[in-house]
Structure 1
Amino acid sequence: MKNPKKQWIALSLLTLMLVKAWVLPLLYLDFEIRRDYIIANLCVNRDKPMMHCDGKCYLAKRIAEAKEKEARQAENDYLSHLLYQVMDNSQAVYSAPPVAFAVRMPVNYQYKSPFAARNAVADIFHPPLV
């Protein structure tokens, strides 16, 4: 039996994500629905009918505000992510043992990088191996 509470929470979160993704299209829809009211009351150039603004100034201002708010939110998310990484205590920082107790032995690594430059023509055109 499915839990209706979990379904309600999932549906609510999905709705919030869709609203966030559809902010700009919803602004355009709001503008088209309320165009007459915006032209009559909210337009900056309503006193200058010869400009034929028709509320586009109001729409441009609302779009600029939405983009600025989204940029601010992205910046805050990035900064909070950085702070979380710095303050994360789940990964303990281990320091090297004191020098007096450390046994120093040379370590030789044999590693060939796959990104090393090579001559592709020499790999193809060579005598066959017997």
Structure 2
Amino acid sequence: MNGKKVIAYFLLTLISFKMLIVPFVYLDFELRKEFIIKNLCENRFKPQLHCDGKCYLAKQLHKVAEGHAREEAQKQDDAFKKIIQDVFDEVALTISSVSISYFERINNAHYQPNPTTDFTSSLLRPPAFVL
């Protein structure tokens, strides 16, 4: 039972981390704001812009949003591929079962075609040409 709790806590931590990644970016920015302003800000040599590291924060948030969008697109692509694969597998199975049943009927020793009667044989013949 203890192993199941550890796995449950681990999965809960992973899910929480994924949900809280944006607040972690803000927290990181606030904790390292002075360092970011002095070293990482694109506008650090232009103090009149009063950027104060917001360009760095915007880049980090854009990276996170882009990662989420890429993951979502990958999930949708995988789901679409799975649906297409399932449909084609079902169609192939149907076609193969129909063709197998057809060949079984042809090769079955007990299969006998309907006997033709004189009436049907007289109807199903080519026309006679008189010269």
| Total equivalences in the alignment | 97
Deviation at 1:85, TM superposition (A): 2.1
Deviation at 1:92, TM superposition (A): 3.8
Structure 1's consecutive aligned runs of 4 or more residues displaced over 6 angstroms after TM superposition are none
Deviation at 1:87, TM superposition (A): 2.5
- Name the residue aligned to 1:35: 33
- Name the residue aligned to 1:26: 24
Which structure's CA Rg is the greater one? 2
Q: Distance in 1 between matches of 2:98 and 2:13?
A: 53
* The structure with more helix, counted as a fraction of residues: 2
Per-residue CA shift, 1:45-104, capped at 9, x if unaligned? 011111110000000011011101100100001111111222248x74435968x99xxx
Q: Distance in 2 between matches of 1:97 and 1:42?
A: 67
Q: Which runs of 5+ in 1 are unaligned?
A: 102-130
Per-residue CA shift, 1:85-128, capped at 9, x if unaligned? 22248x74435968x99xxxxxxxxxxxxxxxxxxxxxxxxxxx
Between the aligned residues of both structures, percent identity stands at: 40
Per-residue CA shift, 1:6-28, capped at 9, x if unaligned? 11111111111111111111111
SS at match of 1:46: coil
